[in-house]
Amino acid sequence: MSLPKSLNNLGRLVSIRCFHNSTISRSIATNTAVSKIRNIGIIAHIDAGKTTTTERMLFYSGVTSRIGNVDQGDTITDFLPQERERGITIQSAAVTIPWNGYKINLIDTPGHADFTFEVIRSLKVLDGAVTILDAVAGVESQTEKVWRQSQGIPKLIFINKMDREGASFGKTCKDVISKLGTRILLCNVPYYETVPGSREMKFSGVLDIVDKKLIRWDENEKISVEEISDAHRETVSKCRESLVETLGEIDEAVIDSFFETEDYMEVPSDILKTAIRKSTLQQYALPVFCGASFKNIGVQPLLEAAALYLPSPAERIPDVSGNTKVELVKDGNFVINGNDKLTVALAFKVITDPIRGLMVFVRVYSGKLTSNSTIYVNGSPIKIGKLLIMHADKPEEVSEIRAGNIGVIVNDNLKTGETVLSHTQKKKLQSKELSITVNPIAVPPPVFSISVEPKTTGDRRGVEEALGLLMKEDPSLKYANDEETGQIVLSGMGELHLEIAVDRLRHLKAKFEVGRVMVSYKETILGSLSAEKTITEDSNEINVAMSMDVNPKEAKQLPKGRQYFDLGDNNFLHVAYEPNWWENKKVMPYQTLINAVTSGCVGSVQRGPIFQLPLNSTLISLDSIEIPDDFQNASRIIQYVRMTLMEIIKQRDFFSVMEPMMNVTMAVHHEDLGSVIQDLTSARKGEISSIDEDDTSGESAIKMLKFKEISESQYVPKEEAHESSVKGKYTGLNNQSVVHAVVPLKEMIGYLPSLRKLTKGRATFDMEFNGMQNITRDRLDEVEKELQIF
Ligand SMILES: Nc1nc2c(ncn2[C@@H]2O[C@H](COP(=O)(O)OP(=O)(O)OP(=O)(O)O)[C@@H](O)[C@H]2O)c(=O)[nH]1
């Protein structure tokens, strides 16, 4: 049988993986044209099967010679001991997969909400993504969140776990249309066959709609490609009809080709493929595939689709800030401000390697990074040595990393989120060039804290060094030193995030005791206070006047027409002087003054007056400062600013305690709705924002969707064969209501087991930071008790 070109690739694969050949990956790492590079991510809800799918991709592309298993803790991408113990992804792993002349740089991101920042920073460097769904659970809350975060990134959809009892391809497709609000393009649909000697149906392959073939996998994962039988012809034809109708909206070639024969089965697959690619890049409608990664079914067509349909680096414009002009020149190289000698890259991830030290993952947007050269970070030159390309956890040394590629710089001085600049001919960069930055990755505020106490005074240094290292890897972790108590407070995004951080600190051989995990309370000002201080020192008289006010919730709501300096934790500084005015005063340079005042303020906002917690949401003003003309001592200014602010902060009665509030989204079975709402509103002091209705048939759910008309026009095949076994099992669009509420984070600690108990494991929930809110006076005692235990 002669196979269509793409399916020949599938056949070819079986032999590629048999002779695991490192030269395949080696040559592909350095020589691939940009049009054949794919920087893509895998995103999904926790446990949808991202790691399992990645392991199969590595195996079928010949990178690995055996399949790693999440449940046995021997996967390639989850290589941290903490990941293998728990069977979850914590760090995004970046691996390079060669596929039929393409180089797929793939990032497997964590699904757990505590590691959202890992997802956000990976999204920054991705050109496309594969969204993996569990065919039993449908679109889950975390998927909706990541979908929102990845807006603008072209995606494919892979409906995984089709082998599970209760799996429903059709219902999951409807869930995609309704919850993710997108049109879909069914590229393959499930194929079932009867288990010999029983009436049971087994998922064993896919009907390839575009190439009109049946792809089957036998028990030994051998692929066979067969003609479509008469029994499946109608399904394929109907799916093709829907494809042609949808694609015809954006590509006339599809319609023209259809009118030649007026037969949907006769539209050539090449024309469909070109239109599917166009549609994916424009995010008009997204291709859908299905499989069961654990059973090794459906992964090769998915890889093929990632190569065919997702964008190359040349098709995504880099997010560079300032007055920059970004132009695409040949070979996918973007030229910034007309300067074709400039290399611009983003450090998006840092990991500690016990042998190599800090490995900094970078995405290069323009020019090329060269080993043993000078790079510029934050305006300062840094000498770098080796450059690497990672094949899962195995590095390959390379002499350069060109535009469009992801690679690794081995260097201890870089942090996640920093822009890396260099001259392609190793020359010095000018100040204008040094001001170019790739827009930074916004770090969400940490909402949980834990106290970390070095075992002995001698252990303190080791603990701080280990913390410093963790912080370079993960900027969503923060730590603060309490000078008075000697305690170190480590803050992160969730209980699991901190648990893993503490575990990692221990692996770094730090010796310490930890306290209980608690939410990160803050203190804030309730009104407006001011203070003026005159200090006489060595016959110098210095007068500082400052005020503190409540800060509007967001920086953009701050009064306009003034310059503000961000002090962190939603605290801002306003200085009453303009640079021009200050220049006339013949005193210390304006920038020196600003740096000193900012440092003084940053130090002061670390301790509020009630429980010595960091301040949040304050607006500090330097109203006036009088210093003698020849006064140049900036460190004294820092001290005077702190003394003045101390006068304000000690007025305890004008301050209050704040706690983090969360936006909670829950999918709850109708039967459990009453008890869940009761628990949320009374025991957990939450406020319900809205309750959206879903329905078992999927029809009423779709009615309430903004994509109603789309879902009605999209054909989804009926799963007759599977219907009997799915009854009552599919949990996606199944008798569910979606509850949105705002709840104090404190009340959500350990919520999952209690929700499971309340709903017999039927409900799922997800939460996101909403903001800080003042707690009522009557709860101060409660918080005080909590802080004492902490
Ligand atoms: N039945 C079945 N189970 C699967 C399939 N794919 C994955 N699993 C199982 O689902 C569980 C979760 O799989 P993972 O690959 O760790 O999922 P993940 O999305 O990477 O999870 P996180 O990284 O923790 O977010 C494991 O027990 C897998 O064995 C599948 O196709 N069918």
Sign of CA dihedral 400, 404, 405, 410: positive
Distance, in Å, from the CA atom of 404 to the CA atom of 303, rounded to the nearest integer, reads 19
Are 649 and 612 in contact by the 8 Å Cβ rule? The answer is no
Q: Which residue has the higher pLDDT, 480 or 598?
A: 598
Task: Tell me the average pLDDT across 44-69.
Answer: 81
Radius of gyration of the chain (CA): 29
Ranges assigned E (strand) in 371-418: 374-377, 380-383, 387-391, 394-398, 400-402, 406-410
Are 79 and 55 in contact by the 8 Å Cβ rule? The answer is no
Q: 50 C-alpha to center of ligand 1: Å?
A: 7
Q: What angle do CA 64, 69, 71 make, to 5 degrees?
A: 165
Distance, in Å, from the CA atom of 28 to the CA atom of 422, rounded to the nearest integer, reads 25
What is the CB < 6 Å shell around ligand 1? 44, 46-52, 70-71, 87-89, 110-112, 160-161, 163-164, 292-295
Is 161 assigned a ligand-binding role in the annotation?
A: yes
pLDDT, tens only, 684-720: 989 999 887 654 344 444 444 445 555 566 777 776 4
Give the contacts of 683 (CB within 8 A, at least 6 positions apart). Answer: 747
Q: 290 C-alpha to center of ligand 1: Å?
A: 15
Query: Looking at 27-31, 210-214, 676-680, 699-703, which range is the least confident one?
Result: 699-703
With 80 as the cut, is the pLDDT of residue 84 above it?
no
Ligand 1, atom nearest to 44 Cα? 19
Sign of CA dihedral 168, 174, 179, 182: positive
Distance, in Å, from the CA atom of 100 to the CA atom of 3, rounded to the nearest integer, reads 16
Nearest CA to ligand 1 atom 7: 49
Is 45 assigned a ligand-binding role in the annotation?
A: yes
Q: 443 C-alpha to center of ligand 1: Å?
A: 28
* All structural domains of the chain: 5-315 (3.40.50.300), 326-435 (2.40.30.10), 448-518 (3.30.70.870), 524-650 (3.30.230.10), 659-789 (3.30.70.240)
Q: 742 C-alpha to center of ligand 1: Å?
A: 31
> Please, which pLDDT band fits residue 735 given cuts at 50, 70 and 90?
low
With 80 as the cut, is the pLDDT of residue 636 above it?
yes
Are 675 and 778 in contact by the 8 Å Cβ rule? The answer is no
Closest of 607, 571, 599 to residue 484, by C-alpha: 607
pLDDT, tens only, 294-342: 999 999 999 999 999 999 998 888 777 756 677 776 666 777 777 778 8
Is 353 assigned a ligand-binding role in the annotation?
A: no
Q: 175 C-alpha to center of ligand 1: Å?
A: 20
With 80 as the cut, is the pLDDT of residue 391 above it?
no
Distance, in Å, from the CA atom of 743 to the CA atom of 661, rounded to the nearest integer, reads 6
| β-strand pairing of 155-160 with 128-134 | parallel
Closest of 116, 107, 168, 124 to residue 143, by C-alpha: 116
Residue with tokens 């390697």: 353
> Please, which pLDDT band fits residue 725 given cuts at 50, 70 and 90?
very low
Q: How many CA atoms lie within 13 A of 199 on its CB side?
A: 3
Give the mean pLDDT of the chain. 81
> Please, which pLDDT band fits residue 12 given cuts at 50, 70 and 90?
very low
How many helical (H) and strand (E) elements, i.e. helices and strands, does the chain have? 23, 38
331: phi > 0 → left, psi -120 to 50 → alpha, else beta; which? left
- For 525-547, give one letter per residue: b (16+ CB within 10 A) or e: beeebebebeeeeeeeebebbbb
Nearest CA to ligand 1 atom 9: 49
Distance, in Å, from the CA atom of 62 to the CA atom of 24, rounded to the nearest integer, reads 8
Residue with tokens 């007759």: 720
Q: In angstroms, what CA-CA distances link 280 with 273, 276, 310, 332, 787?
A: 10, 6, 7, 19, 51
pLDDT, tens only, 747-789: 888 788 888 888 877 777 878 888 888 988 777 888 888 777 5
Ligand 1, atom nearest to 86 Cα? 24
> What six digits make up the tokens of 82?
């903490």
Are 14 and 101 in contact by the 8 Å Cβ rule? The answer is no
What is the pLDDT, as a whole number, of residue 787? Answer: 76
Percentage of the chain surpassing pLDDT 70?
83
Are 358 and 414 in contact by the 8 Å Cβ rule? The answer is yes
With 90 as the cut, is the pLDDT of residue 355 above it?
no
Query: Looking at 86-90, 132-136, 384-388, 445-449, which range is the least confident one?
Result: 86-90
Q: In angstroms, what CA-CA distances link 410 with 344, 422, 487?
A: 17, 16, 33
Distance, in Å, from the CA atom of 671 to the CA atom of 53, rounded to the nearest integer, reads 35
Q: What angle do CA 3, 8, 11 make, to 5 degrees?
A: 115
Max avg pLDDT among 207-211, 229-233, 569-573, 668-672:
207-211
Neighbours of 483 (CB within 10 A): 10
Q: In angstroms, what CA-CA distances link 540 with 481, 633, 642, 643?
A: 33, 11, 18, 16
Task: Tell me the average pLDDT across 416-423.
Answer: 88
Interface confidence, given as ipTM, is 0.98
Q: 731 C-alpha to center of ligand 1: Å?
A: 17
- Substitution site in 42, 51, 165 for ligand 1 pocket (most atoms within 8 Å of beta carbon): 51
Ranges assigned E (strand) in 161-198: 183-186, 188-194
Give the contacts of 429 (CB within 8 A, at least 6 positions apart). Answer: 342, 376, 421, 422, 423
Question: Could you give the 3-state DSSP secondary structure of residue 236?
Answer: helix
pLDDT, tens only, 427-442: 787 777 787 888 877 7
Nearest CA to ligand 1 atom 13: 49
> What six digits make up the tokens of 367?
């020019």
What is the pLDDT, as a whole number, of residue 482? Answer: 67
pLDDT, tens only, 533-552: 898 877 778 899 999 998 86
State the pTM of this model.
0.74
